[in-house]
Chain A
Amino acid sequence: MTKTLASFMLAAAIGSAQWLDFPTPGVPRLPNGKPDLTAAAPKTPDGKPDFSGIWTTKAGYTGNIARDLKPGEVSFTPWAAELYKHRQETQGKDDPQAYCVLSGVPREHVVPYPFKILNATSGRTNMIVILYEALHSYRQIYMDGRKLPKDPNPTWMGYSVGHWDGDTLVVDSSGFVDNNWLDNGGHPGTESMKLTERFRRRDYGHIDLQFTIEDPKAYTKPWTVNLEFTATPDTDLIEYVCDENEKDLKHLVGK
């Protein structure tokens, strides 16, 4: 089971050495010193919301990214329905993550590991970077006004460009691999997938994310998911190495 796999991997982090507990600079704090997660969202020097920080997703979506959707909202094409059924029946034994291949987007939004958003829009590298603890991966979101490439090399993270809609960061992505898994349950994603994400930092402690999957090869109509990220200050990402001491793969037998 992939859930078991994920929790097993977490256990690889031993607790004897010093934890990374350096206080995050610039965090608004309550009189007792705890972070004030309801304080106003910070801004970058150019007045845009600053999404920088370490974030953790709301629990419960790892197995089914579409769990809040009503029946019929995720409308598979016949091919994808068959594939999803197969992935369910075989208990995720072909999940790329079980082979230590990274989760990709949007699956990274529902795995139970923190990630760091880094605002690099003020320097020459005009982009936003997301560093993921899970399977040590990263994602680049170009903010320099470029267009999506027409036929990029397919990747797990895809190719992402962002722009501002008021205080909302809108990220358009395409160029994904054809054998994507959007969650542990195996919702398929294909090369035809277009992902639109709308990030809004509601206050210091929370990001509301709404994303829409448009993938005509796998779904007959677009579908939209709402998620919430919570700020996780005063800690940092730790190294996550999936393929070290990996013991699960041979036990994943499916049906």
Chain B
Amino acid sequence: MSMRPWLILGSLLMAVSSQAQWLNYPTAGIPRLPNGKPNLAAPAPRNRDGKPDLSGVWDVLHNRPCPPEGCQDMWIPQEFLDIGWSLKGGLPYLPWAAEAVKQRMAENRLSDPNWKCLPTGIVRMYTTPLYRKIVQTPGLLVILNEREAMYRQIFTDGRPLPEDPQPSWTGYSTGKWQGDTLVVESSGFRDGTWLDANGSPLTESGKITERLRRVNFGTLEIEISVDDPKAYTKPWTVKLTQLLKPDTDLLDYYCVENEKDRPHLVGK
């Protein structure tokens, strides 16, 4: 059987030793039940400006059944493997993109930038089963990721997207509120980005729209629309769910540190 990505991720996580004190400082301002546990069904918090506050440490929704022997430490969601998992008929790949995905899976995902400890891009930042923290400030929202200490900036100060930004894994993002939904437009991506472990491509022509809505204290819904005419026959939209992780915090996670897997990735 081929090496599975979640095994690799799992082995990397082992680098975090468990002897020292865990980060268990109680998160301030969390509504709590009489027994002291967080009331995750409470209404979403709001900032002084009346807008919802998306701040918090977020985890993926674990929607992938565990194997009989039990869940992996790095319990990936369905969308980690296939971002179009929820779409009938799958993603509308252009022929070259369909061929690329087939090839990448046939090679056991050997060419996945993830294995080389490269940035994962903004979609995989959401589906990687490590925590991320949203920090919302006036004019700028930042997402801090455990994985590789990657961060992402979403400018909410009204600026337009640059016309021809330096292509990057993370792209350039601006956001504005539509009611209680933060609508984030992003472009400026680089060719060679993978949207999932199957290798669904994103190219320089890609534009991504995210609609973030905190439906209650403990749940964040993220609707992601990808419009990339170089890779897909039409735009497509998927919805991700993120769950609040209270009373904990981000830990260092460095893929490049003590990396032992790459020599063992042989493909087919």
Contact = CB atoms under 8 A, between A and B. Distances in A.
Interface string B207-225: 0000000000000000000
A239 B138 contact: no
B119 to A, nearest CB: 6
A interface: dominant SS: loop
B137 A118 contact: yes
Interface in A134-171: 135-138, 140, 144, 146, 149-157
Contact of A239 (B136, B164, B168): B168
A100 interface: yes
B103 interface: no
Contact of B163 (A14, A18, A100): A18
Contact of A155 (B56, B162, B168, B252): B252
Given A102-B254, A124-B28, A129-B135, A136 B142 contact: no
A19 B165 CA distance: 7
B252 A157 contact: yes
Contacts of B238: none
A99 interface: yes
Interface residues of A, number: 49
Contacts of B252: 153, 155-157
B153 interface: yes
A114 to B, nearest CB: 13
B137 A17 contact: no
Interface in B153-206: 153, 157, 159, 162-170, 172
Interface stretch (B17-25, B73-81, B87-95): B17-25
Contacts of A236: 153
Interface residues of B, number: 52
A99 B137 contact: no
A119 interface: yes
Interface string B142-160: 1010001111010001010
Contacts of A149: 21, 23, 25
Interface stretch (B5-13, B34-42, B45-53): B45-53
B257 interface: yes
Contacts of B118: 241, 243-244
Given A25-B139, A243-B116, A126 B20 contact: no
A38 interface: no
A4 B165 CA distance: 27
A101 interface: yes
Contact of A136 (B25, B148, B167, B172): B148
Contact of B168 (A119, A127, A175, A238): A238
Given A101-B254, A118-B135, A129-B135, A152 B21 contact: yes
A33 interface: no
A136 B170 CA distance: 11
B55 interface: yes
A118 B23 contact: no
A125 interface: yes
A122 B117 CA distance: 35
Interface string A105-124: 00000000000001110111
A17 B166 contact: yes
A25 B157 contact: yes
B166 A238 contact: yes
Contact of B16 (A126, A153, A239): A153
Given A25-B157, A136-B150, A151-B21, A120 B257 contact: no
Given A146-B25, A152-B20, A153-B16, A239 B137 contact: no
A155 B23 CA distance: 12
Contacts of A30: none
Nearest to B165: A18
A198 B57 CA distance: 28
Contacts of B168: 238-239
Nearest to B255: A243
Interface centre among B149, B164, B167 (most CB of A within 10 A): B149
Nearest to B249: A140
Given A150-B21, A151-B21, A239-B169, A136 B119 contact: yes
21 contacts: A17-B164, A17-B167, A18-B165, A18-B166, A19-B166, A20-B165, A22-B159, A25-B139, A123-B48, A123-B55, A124-B45, A129-B135, A129-B144, A131-B142, A137-B149, A138-B144, A138-B151, A140-B144, A153-B20, A241-B118, A243-B256
Given A99-B257, A118-B135, A238-B166, 5 more contacts: A14-B166, A17-B166, A118-B140, A120-B135, A241-B169
Interface of A: 13-14, 17-20, 22, 25, 96, 99-102, 118-120, 122-127, 129, 131, 135-138, 140, 144, 146, 149-157, 175, 236-239, 241-244
Closest 8 CB pairs of A and B: A239-B168, A137-B149, A155-B252, A153-B20, A18-B164, A17-B166, A151-B21, A125-B55
